């Protein structure tokens, strides 16, 4: 269950009519992620791997009885990525790098459509119970739309002004049961960005489930909200831990 500090009211076109929906401040969010190895042997560097990954995130207005509890937004992120260790071990830690090709879309049409394609790379350092990394990206350019209702062309040409060109992420395990992670994005020219904090803890009565708390502030928690600033606080259950 998530609480949103402010409502982004996108415009929907229904049978040629324009309408906006009154949304509840409380909603539910779920995420499903998986990865599949594309090779079982070394590709370039011993210990490396090539994978296909998929993440689906959905924001569900399950408490909106008056508008039939719609899904406010769903984001689909398929990607192909390569990961390999680096030979350096500063301060007795370990380092690795990744390269990703990623498509992200909300599967909508016309005025509600949001998408982009990116090439991302990251460098990660980890030691004991701590990890930190930086992930810059390059967005592949798209043609400008000749009309807002044109199905072809860039749905969100200014997305970099809000999400920037990189993110810094990290995680720390206090012990086997209590762990936290963070993610920070920033565009220094516009001053826009976001911060996300996650904390996991034991879920009573279950050895496979963990409790989960998340705080988000800024732009772009979902694609439809890429240019809408908000704060969100949520609590839920995760099947896998954040580490």
For the annotated catalytic residues, the residue numbers are: 103, 105
Instruction: Kindly state the tokens that stand for 216.
Output: 């988000």
In a 13 Å sphere around the CA of 167, the CA atoms on its Cβ side amount to 17
CA 70, 107, 74 angle in degrees (round to 5)?
Answer: 45
CA separation for the pair 74, 29 (Å, rounded)? 10
Q: How far is CA 103 from the centre of its chain?
A: 12
CB 163 within 8 A of CB 171: no
CB 99 within 8 A of CB 118: no
29 C-beta neighbours (distance < 10 Å), count: 19
In a 13 Å sphere around the CA of 54, the CA atoms on its Cβ side amount to 4
Among 224, 232, 230, smallest CA distance to 159 is for 224
CA separation for the pair 41, 48 (Å, rounded)? 8
């Amino acid at each position: 269950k998530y609480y949103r500090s402010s409502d982004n009211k996108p415009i929907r076109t229904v049978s040629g009519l324009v309408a906006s929906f009154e949304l509840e401040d409380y909603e539910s969010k779920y995420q499903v992620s998986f990865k599949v190895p594309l090779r079982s042997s070394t590709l370039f560097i011993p210990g490396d791997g090539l994978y296909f990954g998929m993440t689906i995130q959905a924001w569900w207005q399950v408490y909106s009885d008056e508008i039939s509890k719609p899904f406010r937004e769903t984001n689909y992120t398929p990607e192909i990525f390569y990961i390999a260790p680096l030979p350096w071990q500063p301060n007795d830690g370990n380092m690795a790098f990744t390269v990703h090709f990623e498509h992200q879309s909300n599967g909508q049409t016309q005025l509600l459509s949001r998408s982009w394609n990116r090439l991302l790379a990251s460098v990660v350092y980890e030691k004991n119970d701590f990890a930190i990394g930086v992930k810059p990206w390059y967005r592949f350019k798209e043609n400008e739309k000749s009309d807002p209702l044109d199905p072809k062309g860039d749905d969100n040409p200014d997305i970099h002004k809000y999400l920037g060109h990189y993110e810094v992420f990290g995680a720390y395990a206090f012990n086997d049961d209590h762990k936290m992670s963070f993610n920070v994005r920033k565009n220094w020219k516009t001053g826009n960005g976001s911060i996300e904090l996650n904390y996991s803890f034991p879920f009573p009565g279950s050895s496979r489930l963990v409790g989960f708390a998340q705080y988000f502030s800024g732009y772009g928690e979902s694609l439809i909200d890429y240019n809408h600033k908000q704060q969100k606080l949520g609590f839920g259950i995760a099947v896998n831990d954040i580490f």
